[in-house]
A = this chain, B = another copy of it.
Protein backbone atom coordinates (compact mmCIF):
# COMPACT_ATOMS: atom_id res chain seq x y z
CA UNK A 1 0.00 0.00 0.00
CA UNK A 2 1.35 3.40 -0.98
CA UNK A 3 1.33 6.36 1.40
CA UNK A 4 -1.77 8.53 1.15
CA UNK A 5 -3.83 11.30 2.70
CA UNK A 6 -7.54 10.61 3.05
CA UNK A 7 -10.33 12.86 4.25
CA UNK A 8 -14.05 12.93 3.43
CA UNK A 9 -15.08 16.34 4.73
CA UNK A 10 -18.39 16.68 2.85
CA UNK A 11 -21.30 16.43 5.25
CA UNK A 12 -23.69 14.01 3.55
CA UNK A 13 -27.38 14.25 4.39
CA UNK A 14 -28.80 11.07 3.00
CA UNK A 15 -32.43 10.08 2.66
CA UNK A 16 -35.91 11.21 1.82
CA UNK A 17 -36.81 14.71 2.99
CA UNK A 18 -33.27 15.82 3.83
CA UNK A 19 -33.90 19.01 1.89
CA UNK A 20 -35.26 20.37 5.16
CA UNK A 21 -31.58 20.93 6.12
CA UNK A 22 -30.94 23.17 3.08
CA UNK A 23 -31.65 26.57 4.56
CA UNK A 24 -29.43 25.90 7.57
CA UNK A 25 -26.61 24.54 5.40
CA UNK A 26 -26.59 27.59 3.12
CA UNK A 27 -26.86 30.10 5.97
CA UNK A 28 -23.53 28.94 7.36
CA UNK A 29 -21.94 30.63 4.35
CA UNK A 30 -24.15 33.64 3.65
CA UNK A 31 -27.34 34.88 1.99
CA UNK A 32 -26.29 35.42 -1.62
CA UNK A 33 -26.74 32.16 -3.48
CA UNK A 34 -25.87 31.16 -7.03
CA UNK A 35 -28.27 28.36 -7.95
CA UNK A 36 -26.83 26.25 -10.79
CA UNK A 37 -28.76 23.55 -12.64
CA UNK A 38 -29.02 21.91 -16.02
CA UNK A 39 -31.68 21.62 -18.66
CA UNK A 40 -34.67 22.05 -16.42
CA UNK A 41 -35.54 18.49 -15.35
CA UNK A 42 -35.60 19.81 -11.77
CA UNK A 43 -38.57 21.97 -12.75
CA UNK A 44 -40.47 18.89 -13.94
CA UNK A 45 -39.74 16.63 -10.99
CA UNK A 46 -40.55 19.18 -8.30
CA UNK A 47 -37.05 19.65 -6.89
CA UNK A 48 -36.87 23.27 -8.09
CA UNK A 49 -40.09 24.19 -6.31
CA UNK A 50 -39.05 22.30 -3.18
CA UNK A 51 -35.83 24.32 -3.07
CA UNK A 52 -37.58 27.69 -3.29
CA UNK A 53 -40.10 26.61 -0.70
CA UNK A 54 -37.27 25.65 1.64
CA UNK A 55 -35.38 28.92 0.96
CA UNK A 56 -38.53 30.79 2.01
CA UNK A 57 -37.49 34.18 0.54
CA UNK A 58 -34.65 34.41 3.04
CA UNK A 59 -31.89 34.35 0.40
CA UNK A 60 -30.91 36.43 -2.62
CA UNK A 61 -30.83 33.84 -5.38
CA UNK A 62 -29.20 34.31 -8.78
CA UNK A 63 -29.64 31.46 -11.27
CA UNK A 64 -27.18 29.89 -13.66
CA UNK A 65 -29.35 27.46 -15.61
CA UNK A 66 -28.74 25.39 -18.71
CA UNK A 67 -25.47 23.81 -17.56
CA UNK A 68 -24.64 21.32 -20.33
CA UNK A 69 -24.31 17.52 -19.87
CA UNK A 70 -20.60 17.99 -20.70
CA UNK A 71 -20.29 21.39 -18.99
CA UNK A 72 -18.54 24.01 -21.07
CA UNK A 73 -15.84 26.51 -20.35
CA UNK A 74 -18.07 29.35 -21.57
CA UNK A 75 -20.64 28.48 -18.92
CA UNK A 76 -17.95 28.45 -16.24
CA UNK A 77 -16.77 31.90 -17.26
CA UNK A 78 -20.34 33.19 -17.28
CA UNK A 79 -20.96 31.69 -13.80
CA UNK A 80 -17.83 33.27 -12.34
CA UNK A 81 -18.93 36.63 -13.73
CA UNK A 82 -22.34 36.22 -12.06
CA UNK A 83 -20.62 35.47 -8.76
CA UNK A 84 -18.52 38.63 -8.95
CA UNK A 85 -21.41 40.87 -10.00
CA UNK A 86 -23.77 39.57 -7.32
CA UNK A 87 -21.32 39.17 -4.48
CA UNK A 88 -22.24 35.48 -4.20
CA UNK A 89 -21.47 33.77 -0.86
CA UNK A 90 -22.27 30.17 -1.71
CA UNK A 91 -23.09 28.06 -4.77
CA UNK A 92 -26.05 25.69 -4.63
CA UNK A 93 -25.48 23.07 -7.34
CA UNK A 94 -28.56 21.00 -8.13
CA UNK A 95 -28.18 18.13 -10.54
CA UNK A 96 -25.68 15.45 -11.44
CA UNK A 97 -21.96 15.44 -12.04
CA UNK A 98 -22.07 17.99 -14.84
CA UNK A 99 -23.80 20.65 -12.76
CA UNK A 100 -21.64 19.99 -9.70
CA UNK A 101 -18.44 19.90 -11.79
CA UNK A 102 -19.44 23.20 -13.37
CA UNK A 103 -20.15 24.68 -9.93
CA UNK A 104 -16.66 23.66 -8.79
CA UNK A 105 -15.02 25.39 -11.73
CA UNK A 106 -17.17 28.49 -11.15
CA UNK A 107 -16.36 28.47 -7.42
CA UNK A 108 -12.63 28.52 -8.19
CA UNK A 109 -12.84 30.81 -11.21
CA UNK A 110 -14.56 33.45 -9.03
CA UNK A 111 -11.16 34.15 -7.44
CA UNK A 112 -8.97 33.64 -10.52
CA UNK A 113 -8.08 36.45 -12.88
CA UNK A 114 -6.96 34.32 -15.83
CA UNK A 115 -8.85 31.80 -17.97
CA UNK A 116 -10.23 28.98 -15.76
CA UNK A 117 -9.19 26.52 -18.48
CA UNK A 118 -5.70 26.99 -16.97
CA UNK A 119 -6.82 24.81 -14.01
CA UNK A 120 -6.86 21.74 -16.28
CA UNK A 121 -3.13 22.16 -16.86
CA UNK A 122 -2.34 23.07 -13.24
CA UNK A 123 -4.79 22.39 -10.42
CA UNK A 124 -2.41 24.24 -8.12
CA UNK A 125 -3.70 27.51 -9.57
CA UNK A 126 -6.83 26.98 -7.46
CA UNK A 127 -5.97 28.75 -4.20
CA UNK A 128 -9.45 29.63 -3.02
CA UNK A 129 -13.07 28.86 -3.93
CA UNK A 130 -16.62 29.74 -2.97
CA UNK A 131 -18.28 27.12 -0.73
CA UNK A 132 -20.55 24.66 -2.55
CA UNK A 133 -23.65 22.87 -1.31
CA UNK A 134 -25.02 20.25 -3.69
CA UNK A 135 -28.35 18.51 -4.14
CA UNK A 136 -27.81 15.33 -6.13
CA UNK A 137 -30.39 14.24 -8.69
CA UNK A 138 -28.59 11.35 -10.45
CA UNK A 139 -26.30 8.60 -9.16
CA UNK A 140 -23.21 8.64 -11.33
CA UNK A 141 -20.07 10.70 -11.02
CA UNK A 142 -19.52 11.00 -7.28
CA UNK A 143 -18.78 14.70 -7.74
CA UNK A 144 -20.98 15.40 -4.72
CA UNK A 145 -18.28 14.04 -2.39
CA UNK A 146 -14.95 14.89 -4.01
CA UNK A 147 -12.82 17.70 -5.40
CA UNK A 148 -12.74 16.65 -9.06
CA UNK A 149 -14.23 18.56 -11.98
CA UNK A 150 -14.31 17.83 -15.72
CA UNK A 151 -14.85 20.70 -18.15
CA UNK A 152 -15.21 20.75 -21.92
CA UNK A 153 -13.57 23.32 -24.19
CA UNK A 154 -15.61 23.29 -27.41
CA UNK A 155 -13.13 25.52 -29.20
CA UNK A 156 -10.23 23.11 -28.78
CA UNK A 157 -12.41 19.95 -28.65
CA UNK A 158 -10.88 19.12 -25.27
CA UNK A 159 -12.53 17.58 -22.20
CA UNK A 160 -10.14 17.80 -19.26
CA UNK A 161 -10.21 17.73 -15.49
CA UNK A 162 -8.78 19.46 -12.46
CA UNK A 163 -8.93 18.57 -8.78
CA UNK A 164 -8.66 20.65 -5.65
CA UNK A 165 -9.62 20.24 -2.02
CA UNK A 166 -10.95 23.81 -2.11
CA UNK A 167 -13.89 22.77 -4.30
CA UNK A 168 -15.04 19.71 -2.34
CA UNK A 169 -18.70 20.39 -1.50
CA UNK A 170 -19.22 21.44 2.12
CA UNK A 171 -22.46 19.51 2.24
CA UNK A 172 -24.47 17.36 -0.15
CA UNK A 173 -28.10 16.35 0.09
CA UNK A 174 -28.68 12.85 -1.29
CA UNK A 175 -32.41 12.14 -1.51
CA UNK A 176 -32.97 8.92 -3.49
CA UNK A 177 -36.52 9.98 -4.39
CA UNK A 178 -35.01 12.78 -6.51
CA UNK A 179 -33.62 10.09 -8.81
CA UNK A 180 -36.97 8.30 -9.34
CA UNK A 181 -37.60 10.36 -12.49
CA UNK A 182 -34.16 9.81 -14.06
CA UNK A 183 -34.85 8.18 -17.47
CA UNK A 184 -33.56 4.67 -18.19
CA UNK A 185 -30.81 5.84 -20.53
CA UNK A 186 -29.32 8.20 -17.93
CA UNK A 187 -29.80 5.64 -15.17
CA UNK A 188 -27.80 2.99 -17.00
CA UNK A 189 -25.18 5.55 -18.04
CA UNK A 190 -24.86 6.56 -14.37
CA UNK A 191 -24.39 2.94 -13.27
CA UNK A 192 -21.77 2.41 -15.96
CA UNK A 193 -19.97 5.52 -14.72
CA UNK A 194 -19.98 4.27 -11.11
CA UNK A 195 -18.61 0.91 -12.24
CA UNK A 196 -15.97 2.59 -14.35
CA UNK A 197 -14.71 4.60 -11.37
CA UNK A 198 -14.44 1.37 -9.42
CA UNK A 199 -12.73 -0.46 -12.32
CA UNK A 200 -10.23 2.36 -12.85
CA UNK A 201 -9.05 2.12 -9.25
CA UNK A 202 -9.40 -1.66 -8.98
CA UNK A 203 -7.39 -2.66 -12.05
CA UNK A 204 -4.19 -1.13 -10.81
CA UNK A 205 -0.56 -2.12 -10.46
CA UNK A 206 -0.65 -1.78 -6.65
CA UNK A 207 -1.66 -5.21 -5.44
CA UNK A 208 -1.47 -5.18 -1.67
CA UNK A 209 -4.66 -3.18 -1.11
CA UNK A 210 -7.24 -5.72 0.00
CA UNK A 211 -9.10 -3.07 2.01
CA UNK A 212 -9.64 -0.79 -0.98
CA UNK A 213 -10.35 -3.69 -3.35
CA UNK A 214 -12.79 -5.35 -0.95
CA UNK A 215 -14.72 -2.10 -0.70
CA UNK A 216 -14.72 -1.75 -4.49
CA UNK A 217 -15.99 -5.33 -4.93
CA UNK A 218 -18.86 -4.67 -2.53
CA UNK A 219 -19.82 -1.50 -4.40
CA UNK A 220 -19.60 -3.28 -7.78
CA UNK A 221 -21.90 -6.07 -6.56
CA UNK A 222 -24.32 -3.38 -5.43
CA UNK A 223 -24.39 -1.71 -8.85
CA UNK A 224 -24.84 -5.01 -10.68
CA UNK A 225 -27.58 -6.07 -8.28
CA UNK A 226 -29.67 -2.91 -8.23
CA UNK A 227 -29.33 -1.48 -11.76
CA UNK A 228 -31.67 -4.02 -13.43
CA UNK A 229 -34.11 -3.59 -10.54
CA UNK A 230 -34.21 0.18 -11.00
CA UNK A 231 -34.58 -0.09 -14.78
CA UNK A 232 -37.73 -2.17 -14.25
CA UNK A 233 -39.00 -0.26 -11.23
CA UNK A 234 -37.66 3.33 -11.32
CA UNK A 235 -39.29 4.30 -8.01
CA UNK A 236 -37.75 1.48 -5.99
CA UNK A 237 -36.35 3.39 -2.99
CA UNK A 238 -34.05 0.60 -1.79
CA UNK A 239 -32.44 0.27 -5.22
CA UNK A 240 -32.13 4.01 -5.88
CA UNK A 241 -30.70 4.54 -2.38
CA UNK A 242 -28.02 1.88 -2.78
CA UNK A 243 -27.01 3.16 -6.23
CA UNK A 244 -26.86 6.73 -4.94
CA UNK A 245 -24.66 5.93 -1.95
CA UNK A 246 -22.48 3.65 -4.11
CA UNK A 247 -21.90 6.50 -6.57
CA UNK A 248 -20.56 8.80 -3.84
CA UNK A 249 -18.33 6.19 -2.21
CA UNK A 250 -16.95 4.94 -5.53
CA UNK A 251 -15.00 8.13 -6.07
CA UNK A 252 -14.37 9.81 -2.72
CA UNK A 253 -10.89 8.33 -2.26
CA UNK A 254 -11.93 5.13 -0.48
CA UNK A 255 -11.14 2.82 -3.38
CA UNK A 256 -8.24 4.79 -4.90
CA UNK A 257 -6.19 5.88 -1.90
CA UNK A 258 -2.96 3.97 -1.35
CA UNK A 259 -2.69 3.05 -5.02
CA UNK A 260 -0.23 4.24 -7.54
CA UNK A 261 -1.14 4.42 -11.16
CA UNK A 262 -3.32 6.12 -13.67
CA UNK A 263 -6.74 5.46 -15.13
CA UNK A 264 -7.25 3.80 -18.49
CA UNK A 265 -10.78 4.10 -19.91
CA UNK A 266 -11.72 7.61 -18.77
CA UNK A 267 -9.03 9.23 -20.88
CA UNK A 268 -10.18 7.39 -23.99
CA UNK A 269 -13.84 8.17 -23.34
CA UNK A 270 -13.17 11.85 -22.74
CA UNK A 271 -12.04 12.07 -26.37
CA UNK A 272 -15.30 10.52 -27.58
CA UNK A 273 -17.30 12.99 -25.47
CA UNK A 274 -15.15 15.93 -26.49
CA UNK A 275 -15.48 15.16 -30.22
CA UNK A 276 -19.04 13.83 -30.32
CA UNK A 277 -20.66 15.15 -27.10
CA UNK A 278 -21.98 11.66 -26.23
CA UNK A 279 -23.13 10.62 -22.74
CA UNK A 280 -20.00 9.89 -20.69
CA UNK A 281 -21.27 6.72 -19.00
CA UNK A 282 -22.40 5.21 -22.29
CA UNK A 283 -18.99 5.86 -23.84
CA UNK A 284 -17.37 4.17 -20.84
CA UNK A 285 -19.62 1.12 -21.11
CA UNK A 286 -18.72 0.73 -24.80
CA UNK A 287 -14.97 1.08 -24.29
CA UNK A 288 -14.48 -0.83 -21.03
CA UNK A 289 -14.97 -4.48 -22.10
CA UNK A 290 -12.85 -3.88 -25.24
CA UNK A 291 -10.14 -2.42 -23.04
CA UNK A 292 -10.38 -5.43 -20.72
CA UNK A 293 -10.08 -7.87 -23.61
CA UNK A 294 -7.17 -5.89 -25.10
CA UNK A 295 -5.09 -5.82 -21.90
CA UNK A 296 -5.87 -9.38 -20.80
CA UNK A 297 -2.57 -11.25 -20.49
CA UNK A 298 -0.88 -13.77 -18.22
CA UNK A 299 0.14 -10.84 -16.07
CA UNK A 300 -3.32 -9.26 -15.72
CA UNK A 301 -5.50 -12.40 -15.79
CA UNK A 302 -5.31 -12.95 -12.02
CA UNK A 303 -6.91 -9.63 -11.23
CA UNK A 304 -9.71 -10.10 -13.78
CA UNK A 305 -10.30 -13.58 -12.35
CA UNK A 306 -10.55 -12.18 -8.81
CA UNK A 307 -13.01 -9.57 -10.11
CA UNK A 308 -15.11 -12.36 -11.63
CA UNK A 309 -15.03 -14.40 -8.44
CA UNK A 310 -15.92 -11.59 -6.06
CA UNK A 311 -18.36 -9.67 -8.23
CA UNK A 312 -19.99 -12.30 -10.46
CA UNK A 313 -19.55 -15.27 -8.10
CA UNK A 314 -17.66 -17.26 -10.74
CA UNK A 315 -16.51 -20.70 -9.62
CA UNK A 316 -12.76 -21.19 -9.30
CA UNK A 317 -10.93 -22.43 -12.39
CA UNK A 318 -7.92 -21.21 -14.34
CA UNK A 319 -7.35 -17.46 -14.12
CA UNK A 320 -7.45 -17.03 -17.88
CA UNK A 321 -10.82 -18.74 -18.24
CA UNK A 322 -12.29 -16.89 -15.26
CA UNK A 323 -10.97 -13.62 -16.66
CA UNK A 324 -12.55 -14.26 -20.06
CA UNK A 325 -15.88 -15.09 -18.40
CA UNK A 326 -15.69 -11.94 -16.29
CA UNK A 327 -15.06 -9.77 -19.36
CA UNK A 328 -17.97 -11.40 -21.19
CA UNK A 329 -20.23 -10.78 -18.17
CA UNK A 330 -19.12 -7.15 -18.08
CA UNK A 331 -20.13 -6.75 -21.74
CA UNK A 332 -23.33 -8.81 -21.43
CA UNK A 333 -24.51 -6.89 -18.37
CA UNK A 334 -24.23 -3.52 -20.08
CA UNK A 335 -26.03 -4.94 -23.10
CA UNK A 336 -28.77 -6.49 -20.97
CA UNK A 337 -29.41 -3.13 -19.30
CA UNK A 338 -30.04 -1.73 -22.78
CA UNK A 339 -26.86 0.23 -23.39
CA UNK A 340 -26.03 0.69 -27.10
CA UNK A 341 -22.76 -1.22 -27.13
CA UNK A 342 -21.17 -0.09 -30.41
CA UNK A 343 -19.85 3.32 -31.40
CA UNK A 344 -22.08 3.39 -34.48
CA UNK A 345 -25.17 3.31 -32.28
CA UNK A 346 -24.10 6.58 -30.63
CA UNK A 347 -23.24 8.25 -33.94
CA UNK A 348 -19.49 7.69 -34.08
CA UNK A 349 -17.91 6.30 -37.26
CA UNK A 350 -14.27 5.52 -38.01
CA UNK A 351 -13.38 8.91 -39.50
CA UNK A 352 -11.81 10.51 -36.38
CA UNK A 353 -10.66 7.44 -34.47
CA UNK A 354 -7.01 8.03 -35.28
CA UNK A 355 -7.12 11.69 -34.27
CA UNK A 356 -8.92 10.82 -31.02
CA UNK A 357 -6.42 8.06 -30.23
CA UNK A 358 -3.61 10.54 -30.69
CA UNK A 359 -5.30 13.05 -28.41
CA UNK A 360 -6.02 10.41 -25.74
CA UNK A 361 -2.31 9.72 -25.49
CA UNK A 362 -1.36 13.40 -25.70
CA UNK A 363 -3.74 14.37 -22.86
CA UNK A 364 -2.42 11.71 -20.51
CA UNK A 365 -0.56 13.17 -17.52
CA UNK A 366 3.22 12.82 -17.66
CA UNK A 367 4.61 9.74 -15.90
CA UNK A 368 1.26 7.99 -16.05
CA UNK A 369 1.41 4.27 -15.12
CA UNK A 370 -1.75 2.41 -16.14
CA UNK A 371 -2.69 -1.20 -15.31
CA UNK A 372 -1.35 -2.18 -18.74
CA UNK A 373 0.54 0.16 -21.09
CA UNK A 374 -1.55 1.89 -23.78
CA UNK A 375 0.28 3.40 -26.73
CA UNK A 376 -1.61 5.21 -29.48
CA UNK A 377 -1.90 1.94 -31.43
CA UNK A 378 -3.52 0.24 -28.43
CA UNK A 379 -6.08 3.01 -28.07
CA UNK A 380 -6.85 2.84 -31.78
CA UNK A 381 -7.30 -0.94 -31.58
CA UNK A 382 -9.74 -0.47 -28.67
CA UNK A 383 -11.64 2.24 -30.57
CA UNK A 384 -11.84 0.08 -33.70
CA UNK A 385 -13.03 -2.94 -31.69
CA UNK A 386 -15.76 -0.66 -30.29
CA UNK A 387 -17.24 -0.34 -33.80
CA UNK A 388 -18.27 -4.02 -33.88
CA UNK A 389 -20.25 -6.22 -31.50
CA UNK A 390 -17.92 -8.24 -29.27
CA UNK A 391 -17.77 -11.98 -29.81
CA UNK A 392 -16.61 -14.50 -27.24
Write the residues of chain A forming the contact surface with B, with a CB cutoff of 8 angstroms: 1-18, 176, 208-211, 213-219, 221-222, 225-226, 237-238, 241-242, 245-246, 249, 254, 257-258
Contacts and interface: CB of A to CB of B under 8 A. Distances in A.
5 contacts: A1-B242, A3-B16, A6-B8, A210-B222, A249-B254
Nearest to A247: B211
A214 B217 contact: yes
B18 A241 contact: no
Given A3-B13, A210-B225, A216-B218, 18 more contacts: A1-B176, A1-B238, A5-B11, A5-B12, A5-B14, A8-B9, A9-B9, A208-B238, A208-B242, A210-B226, A211-B219, A211-B222, A211-B242, A211-B249, A214-B217, A214-B221, A215-B215, A245-B258
B258 A14 contact: yes
A228 to B, nearest CB: 14
A15 B6 CA distance: 11
By Cβ-Cβ distance, the 3 closest A-B pairs, closest first, are A214-B218, A3-B15, A8-B8
A182 B386 CA distance: 53
Contacts of A225: 210
A210 B242 contact: yes
Contacts of A210: 218, 221-222, 225-226, 242
A245 B11 contact: no
Interface centre among A8, A221, A226 (most CB of B within 10 A): A8
B12 A242 contact: no
A219 B208 contact: no
A10 B7 contact: yes
Contact of A18 (B3, B12, B254): B3
Nearest to A11: B7
Contacts of A11: 5-7
A222 B218 contact: no
A238 B3 CA distance: 12
Contacts of A249: 211, 215, 254
Contacts of A217: 214, 218
B242 A14 contact: no
Nearest to A315: B315
Contacts of A2: 15
B242 A209 contact: yes
Given A6-B12, A11-B5, A12-B5, A214 B208 contact: no
Nearest to A21: B5
Contact of A211 (B3, B209, B237, B245): B245
A292 to B, nearest CB: 21
Contacts of A8: 6-9
Contacts of A222: 210-211, 214
Contact of A219 (B16, B214, B216, B241): B214
A330 B245 CA distance: 30
A223 to B, nearest CB: 10
Contacts of A213: 218
A3 B3 CA distance: 34
Nearest to A236: B208
A10 B213 CA distance: 22
A219 B13 CA distance: 24
Contact of A6 (B3, B14, B17, B246): B14
Nearest to A1: B241
A4 B14 contact: yes
A241 B208 contact: yes
A43 to B, nearest CB: 25
A304 to B, nearest CB: 18
B1 A17 contact: no
